[in-house]
Structure 1
Amino acid sequence: MTNSQQTVTAIKAFNDNYIWAISSENNTNIALVDPGDAFVCIDYMQTNNLILSAILITHHHSDHVGGIAKLLEYAKEKAWSVTVYGPATENIAQLDITLQENDKVSIPELNCQFDVLDLPGHTKGHIAYYDDNKVFCGDTLFSGGCGRLFEGTAQQMHHSLTKLANLATDTLIYCAHEYTQANLAFALAVEPNNIDLHNYAEQVKVKRQHSHATIPSNIALELQINPFLRCHKHSIKLAAQAYSNQNQRNDSDVFAAIRTWKDNF
């Protein structure tokens, strides 16, 4: 389903988090994705006279769920009805509806619907919400990078990233952190001869000098510049071999090698 009448706005939180506010041109209702900080969300809603209808959670880490309780308390004071969605296999106390692969989330107040993807890796139960022009992918895929493996395996994460890579190339990527510039420094170490990567790094440098967001990215761009989506490329395989002094058996092993490299970069 195309949610063409929706607007997605970044609410900045903590040092580098993005909480995504999904709104409609037809009314004042919104949904929030991964509201780790209730206070910045409440301030945003008060400033813009908005009504909270839904909360979408990708995984259980505190910088993604920490604001839920306070937001529900605030909504109760306002007599708002809020539905909280999140992953079925993670322990998140306030969920009303638990989700797994192929489930659908309908938010009638916003006239929108999302499909759910299972994306284990960063955490075991991590999920994403997507329609045919955008994906809210939490801490799985970043621009130029990917999330750390706190709970899942390298094989799981590589499979999850491959799922995202197979979405339509014009899909907008709404990840949860402004990590792009640091990610690109690593990507350039892995693939120093990638002209697309150099060009993007220059664009990002200018954006960040002006404190502009680099998110959303899109799938087409990430396929050109993100080493974690390019593990099938000869240049990435050579870099993984050089770093690890080993020959990787498959693309998943290539991913594991460069993820370890990034952890120590």
Structure 2
Amino acid sequence: MRVHALPALQDNYIWLLAGSDGAALVVDPGEAGPVLQAVAEGLRPLAILITHHHPDHQGGAAELARRLGIPRHAPFEERIPDAEVRVAEGDRLDFPALSLQLQVMQVHGHTRSHVAFHGGGHLFCGDALFSLGCGRMFEGQPAQMLDSLDRLAALPGDLQVCCGHEYTEANGRFARAVEPDNATRDHRLDEVRARRARQQPSLPVSLSSERDCNPFLRLDQPGVQASLSHRLGRAPADRIEAFATLRHWKDTFAA
């Protein structure tokens, strides 16, 4: 089974998890065109997975469901109308044609109903976790987002992180400001620049790499704590304040 990133819209990825015979899952289709082109080239979609309601993650789902006759798996969210299958925390989805089972995690913070899917060696996390970053808190609170990121970080390190946008280089500039002395992160950024120079995605990336490089998964590390203390003029009161400070810093960061 292989994963493919289809570029879509401005900087989105539509993810395909496909078997050798072309059977595949389609994750977060922000538009239908790239998937329909893949179908014309032999892809055989079995189902659509939607992590959250934002149009750049589900804008093409209704058309694909209608034209291909396949179900949409989506969270309980009125802003994702007419999904055939609703999913929530702890659900398990079986796809026998791919010999695959996926588990569903509720990951509040970016939105109030965001979910992630993991299994088969892959983690489809939408806009909850990015490589070297995380999503903005449009509808959640810092404690919710931190809990979501902590639970994602606790998954097996060999999972391949498949997130929704090509933000890695920009996130890396912020990560370097937060934790200047992280040689592993710098090596990751060298790899990312080389990939992007070849017009290749910076993703997927292992979750273990993110634990080593992503400041939002490294709140307790001395370098990150020192930067947050300098920014606050004191040590963060707790991990929630540390995360909130880091996220606000990212929201206003320019470099």
TM-score (norm 2): 0.95
Task: Give the equivalent residue in structure 2 for 1:9.
Answer: 4
Task: Give the equivalent residue in structure 1 for 2:57.
Answer: 64
* TM-superposed deviation, 1:243: 1.7
1:136 aligns with 2:124: yes
Task: Give the equivalent residue in structure 2 for 1:3.
Answer: none
* TM-superposed deviation, 1:52: 2.1
CA contact (8 A) 1:68 1:94 kept: no
Mapping of residues 109-120 of structure 1, within 5 Å: 109-120=97-108
- What is the rounded CA distance, in whole Å, between the counterparts of 1:231 and 1:28 in structure 2? 41
Mapping of residues 159-198 of structure 1, within 5 Å: 159-198=147-186
CA deviations over 1:162-215 (Å, ceiling 9, x no partner): 011101111110111110000000000001111112222222112112211110
Aligned counterpart for 2:28 among listed residues 21, 24, 34: 34
* TM-superposed deviation, 1:247: 2.9
Task: Give the equivalent residue in structure 1 for 2:44.
Answer: 51
- What is the rounded CA distance, in whole Å, between the counterparts of 2:56 and 2:206 in structure 1? 24
- What is the rounded CA distance, in whole Å, between the counterparts of 1:51 and 1:195 in structure 2? 42
CA contact (8 A) 1:53 1:82 kept: yes
Identity %: 37
* TM-superposed deviation, 1:136: 0.4
- What is the rounded CA distance, in whole Å, between the counterparts of 2:157 and 2:22 in structure 1? 31
Task: Give the equivalent residue in structure 2 for 1:107.
Answer: 95
1:227 aligns with 2:215: yes
* TM-superposed deviation, 1:70: 1.5
* TM-superposed deviation, 1:120: 0.3
- What is the rounded CA distance, in whole Å, between the counterparts of 1:93 and 1:242 in structure 2? 46
Q: Which runs of 5+ in 2 are unaligned?
A: none
CA deviations over 1:133-172 (Å, ceiling 9, x no partner): 2110000111100001111111111110001110111111
- Which amino acid in 1 is paired with 2:63? K
For structure 1, which segment, 101-110 or 112-121, has the greater mean C-alpha deviation from structure 2 after superposition?
101-110
Q: Which runs of 5+ in 1 are unaligned?
A: 1-5, 76-80
Seen in structure 2, the aligned counterparts of structure 1 residues 186 and 40 have a Cα distance that, compared at 3 Å, is same
Seen in structure 2, the aligned counterparts of structure 1 residues 90 and 120 have a Cα distance that, compared at 3 Å, is farther
* TM-superposed deviation, 1:132: 5.4
Query: Aligned with 1:15: secondary structure?
Result: coil
* TM-superposed deviation, 1:216: 0.5
Query: Aligned with 1:55: secondary structure?
Result: strand
Task: Give the equivalent residue in structure 2 for 1:78.
Answer: none
- What is the rounded CA distance, in whole Å, between the counterparts of 1:141 and 1:52 in structure 2? 25
- What is the rounded CA distance, in whole Å, between the counterparts of 2:183 and 2:22 in structure 1? 44
- What is the rounded CA distance, in whole Å, between the counterparts of 1:115 and 1:187 in structure 2? 30
CA deviations over 1:85-137 (Å, ceiling 9, x no partner): 01124531131111111001112232211000010011111000001521100
Query: Could you say what the CA RMSD is over the residues aligned between the two structures, in angstroms?
Result: 1.3
* Total equivalences in the alignment: 253
- What is the rounded CA distance, in whole Å, between the counterparts of 1:8 and 1:195 in structure 2? 28
- Which amino acid in 2 is paired with 1:43? Q
